[in-house]
Structure 1
Amino acid sequence: MRALVPDDLALQVGDDALDNGVGAGMGVGMGAIADFFRDAYSFDDTAQDSPLLWHLSRQQPLTQALSGLFHGPAALVQLRVWVFLQLAAQGDAQLPRERIDELFHALRPEALETVLKRLRDVGLLAWDETQRSYHLPALAQRVAGLLAPLTSPAPEDDHADGGELAALLGQVVGANQLGSVDAGQVQLLQAQLARLHGEFADAIASGSEFRLREARKRYDRAAQLIDRASDAITAIIGNSHGHLLLERAARGLGQAQSRLLAMASQFNRALQQVDRQRVTLGTTGITSTDVKRWLQAAPQLHRLLDGAVAQPTQLATLAPHELLDVVEAEFERDRPQPALAEALPNAQSAPAGTLTAVALPRELGDLNALLAEWARDGGHADAARTAAEALLGPRPGATRYAQLAYKAQLMPLLGDPQAAVLPGLTGELARQPWRIEWQPQAEPLDHHQVELLSRGRLVPAEPDSPQGTEEVKNG
């Protein structure tokens, strides 16, 4: 840092006067920033729609401290920031003036006094009269936290994106661990991820091998940082329910993270395409990529053209007839052959065929025969039969489970008016003069395959009912 000359001190005094005048004119509270809006209603409406503006309008001491710290030439700003961060890094609660003079013994006394006065005026340094020493108030701790990135070395160009992303991830993850994460921090991280996604997408669309490989290195660093903070990002998304702004920002952060991590396959495809387009020059092992790198590193490329076009290429001979013969042969070879006419096939007689119908299981016919026999024996109201008798048939011991289940599925067809008009065994079953009445109980059976069966009975149909009349007509 260069030495502070008297002209700088004079300018510093002028800056103090300017700051004091501005601070006195703007006043304290929301009126300072509200003066830049058309009217008070415009400011109120904008503050309601923008939580960021609403929070900034209530950070008057912090903004005044930052303004006083960074106002003026760059050399004075560097001097103030250095003195302030050096004082904030001390582990003592009280800083006597002798201790401060010892820390900054290389500075001229008037320069140190000017900087200390500015820090006192903006509230970043307080003098305790009883202890006869300085101390840093709570506002100074907040400002020191904001200026913490200045204490780390400046990142190189290759790691600039990783440094920015690491700083944002550190703020969000740290705030989440303390339970103080807000939507603004999450939105800043989302914006950084979206910016990186756009830059990587442009690199993929460019098709440049060198740009692709450079972007892939940056992408790997960013993906590694995101992978380390994946659990914290998942926790933020899961714990944001109930906070509208934080939930919206967390949802956007999750989408930006997914889009960025999904670009790995796009990079792989683009690099594979570049590898397929790489050309090897003969048997030398030199590829087109090596030539590009050499051309990029070669100084004064225009010197390579010296004498290269001194003798332009000329045709030694010209044989028009031979060229025409070659062209005609190529045309004849590539000309498509015309399709040959094909005669229609001769008439043929249709083969003889048979129309077959799917045979129904014989259990349906057996059930029809059993119900018809019961109707002939006496189909009056007292001649009710149990469902087990109908399902097991005349030979219960020979009845298998599949046959019993199939007959149970046929029982709802009894008395069905739609099935009664069908021909065949299905319609015959629907026209049987019986109705099934199931009960919500199960009865045990003495059977080798069926242990329980729903209790039910078959009752004769009422001939004078509308359903029975329809069945008689259909019959």
Structure 2
Amino acid sequence: MSEQEDNGLAEFFVAGVEPADVPQFFPLFAAKPLIGAMIALFRGGDDEVMVRLMVLREIGLRAEAPEWSPRELQSHFAFINQSKLNTVLGRLREHELLLWDNERHLYRLSSAGRMVLSALSSLLNFNTEQDGEFLAAQIAAGAAVGKLSPEALAHLLARLAELEEEFSQAVTSGSEFRLREAQTRLEAVQKWMDKANEVMRDLATEGLDDTTWKLSQQIGQRQSKLMRMSSVFQRELAEISRQQVHLSHGGLSSSELAAWLKQRTVDELVELAAGQLTLTPETTFILPDVMVDNTEEFVARDLPNRRVSAMPAPSEVEYVDDIALDPPYQLAALVRLLSGLDEPLTLADGIVGGGFSDASYRLSLLSFLGEQNVDPELAPLAHLPLRLCWDENFELQHIGRDEIAAMSGGHIEPQQEKNT
């Protein structure tokens, strides 16, 4: 590195840091000649770069006769201005992309120039939508010659992470069109992922260093997550299909209508919407909170004698903690009926009357007979010396009155005093 270049690069760093001491620059410094060739090839305006690339590619494509005489170049590039062609050839020679043989007066492509063209041709075979295929091809090529770059694996891993995020966003959006687009994208991704898997399996059998092995494991995990997205897409699309609205008896769905509208041009959409849409002006206030504050200040300043309404004073209210409630009339009537009972009373005569709800309530009250720990309102009933007995045959007795058709047989009888 020249002293001028060293000083120019040092301007990018803080004081006290030498560019040669930065580890991230080591591989770039080692490839300085090749990087310089690429800089020379791509420096300048777009038109100049395009002409240089075209000339260099044409020179490199003649495989059967890789050496060119000046006359052959002039004839082959007759459509280029002669002075401009000489300028391009001179720049390529200056930066050693083209080599000139003084003895035989022939041009030929240098090793650096052929490497640049080879990398460029690989890149041009893929479009921006095939970036994953390009990365997989780089890994396969590196593995074939035994020079697998961890950087290539890292780029592939990063691309898989980006795809996973894109697919997750498509699922989160709930849009049928985004889901179908992501599903199609996943099918295309599957092809080059299979190729990458084959390469990774072959490399695993040959042995990998720690860094490459770690990256390979992470790539495998990412690919597994992407493969599971296929079932996620199908599940989400099935859910959307169940929620589709059919607009006619012929089975036209809202999704089909939306897809048809997406295929229409802007002019066609304008024609369809003509006379069908109504525009309603919406009042929009700028900074409404500020306007409210200004309004309050205006009212307080300019209307000093405004009438002020006040709420009347609260009335005196007597607060009570407990309100005595009368017990249900069914309870009081049942206590009066059973008080002083000295002979058995059939269950039907004791509870039936007034309707089904009254009879049900009286029957539930009989369960408290003989209980000790009861509420005060139930104490008069619970302390009666009575008990409820059910018939042993469990047969239903016909009642036929007061909403009771039949009920289990039983009777209420006085408790026998125990001999002491």
User: Which bracket does the TM-score occupy, shorter chain normalised?
Assistant: 0.5 to 0.7
Whether 2:55 is the aligned partner of 1:83: answer: yes
1:15-164 matched pairs, under 5 angstroms = 26-27=4-5, 33-39=9-15, 41=17, 43=19, 46-47=22-23, 50=24, 53-91=25-63, 92-149=65-122, 151-152=124-125, 155=127, 160-161=128-129, 163-164=130-131
Q: Which runs of 5+ in 2 are unaligned?
A: 281-359, 372-420
Whether 2:168 is the aligned partner of 1:201: answer: yes
Distance 1:212 1:197 in 2: 13
- Deviation (angstroms), 1:191: 1.4
Distance 2:22 2:233 in 1: 42
Distance 1:32 1:65, change over 3 A: farther
Distance 1:88 1:198 in 2: 41
Amino acid at match of 1:69: L
Amino acid at match of 2:119: L
Whether 2:260 is the aligned partner of 1:294: answer: yes
- Aligned residue for 1:57, secondary structure, equals helix
Distance 1:86 1:237, change over 3 A: same
- Deviation (angstroms), 1:252: 2.4
Whether 2:139 is the aligned partner of 1:172: answer: yes
Whether 2:224 is the aligned partner of 1:258: answer: yes
Amino acid at match of 1:66: M
1:263-282 matched pairs, under 5 angstroms = 263-282=229-248
Cα deviation, 1:45-90, whole Å, max 9, x if unaligned, reads 641xx4xx32112211112111111111111110001101111112
- Tell me the residue number matched to 2:189: 222
Cα deviation, 1:254-275, whole Å, max 9, x if unaligned, reads 2222222221111111111121
Contact residue 240 and residue 250 of structure 1 kept, 8 A: no
Distance 1:205 1:264 in 2: 15
CA root-mean-square deviation: 3.1
- Deviation (angstroms), 1:281: 2.3
Distance 1:245 1:54 in 2: 18
Distance 2:103 2:16 in 1: 44
Distance 2:88 2:189 in 1: 40
Distance 2:368 2:106 in 1: 115
1:409-420 matched pairs, under 5 angstroms = none
Distance 1:297 1:93, change over 3 A: closer
- TM-score relative to the length of structure 1: 0.54
Distance 2:273 2:105 in 1: 77
Whether 2:154 is the aligned partner of 1:187: answer: yes
Contact residue 132 and residue 159 of structure 2 kept, 8 A: yes
- TM-score relative to the length of structure 2: 0.61
Distance 1:127 1:167 in 2: 34
Amino acid at match of 2:116: V
Distance 1:109 1:302, change over 3 A: closer
Amino acid at match of 1:217: T
- Aligned residue for 1:262, secondary structure, equals helix
Amino acid at match of 1:128: D
Amino acid at match of 1:90: R
- Tell me the residue number matched to 2:286: none
- Deviation (angstroms), 1:195: 1.4
Distance 2:227 2:9 in 1: 41
Cα deviation, 1:431-468, whole Å, max 9, x if unaligned, reads xxxxxxxxxxxxxxxxxxxxxxxxxxxxxxxxxxxxxx
Distance 1:309 1:105 in 2: 61
Distance 1:101 1:186 in 2: 44
Distance 2:277 2:118 in 1: 64
Amino acid at match of 1:143: V
Contact residue 34 and residue 40 of structure 1 kept, 8 A: no
Distance 1:123 1:112, change over 3 A: same
Amino acid at match of 1:38: V
- Deviation (angstroms), 1:240: 5.1
Distance 1:125 1:286, change over 3 A: same
- Deviation (angstroms), 1:124: 0.2
Contact residue 183 and residue 233 of structure 2 kept, 8 A: yes
- Tell me the residue number matched to 1:249: 215
Distance 1:305 1:68, change over 3 A: closer
- Deviation (angstroms), 1:233: 2.0
Distance 1:346 1:72, change over 3 A: farther
Contact residue 123 and residue 134 of structure 2 kept, 8 A: no
Distance 1:111 1:133 in 2: 19
Distance 1:212 1:309, change over 3 A: closer
Contact residue 65 and residue 122 of structure 1 kept, 8 A: yes
Distance 1:290 1:345, change over 3 A: farther
Contact residue 36 and residue 95 of structure 2 kept, 8 A: yes
Distance 1:40 1:274, change over 3 A: same
Amino acid at match of 2:233: F
Cα deviation, 1:320-366, whole Å, max 9, x if unaligned, reads xxxxxxxxxxxxxxxxxxx997959999xxxxxxxxxxxxxxxxxxx
Contact residue 136 and residue 195 of structure 2 kept, 8 A: no
Q: Which runs of 5+ in 1 are unaligned?
A: 1-22, 313-338, 348-475
Contact residue 60 and residue 66 of structure 2 kept, 8 A: no
- Deviation (angstroms), 1:292: 1.1
Cα deviation, 1:109-147, whole Å, max 9, x if unaligned, reads 101101001101111011111221112221112211221
Contact residue 13 and residue 19 of structure 2 kept, 8 A: yes
Distance 2:368 2:206 in 1: 76
The aligned length equals: 285
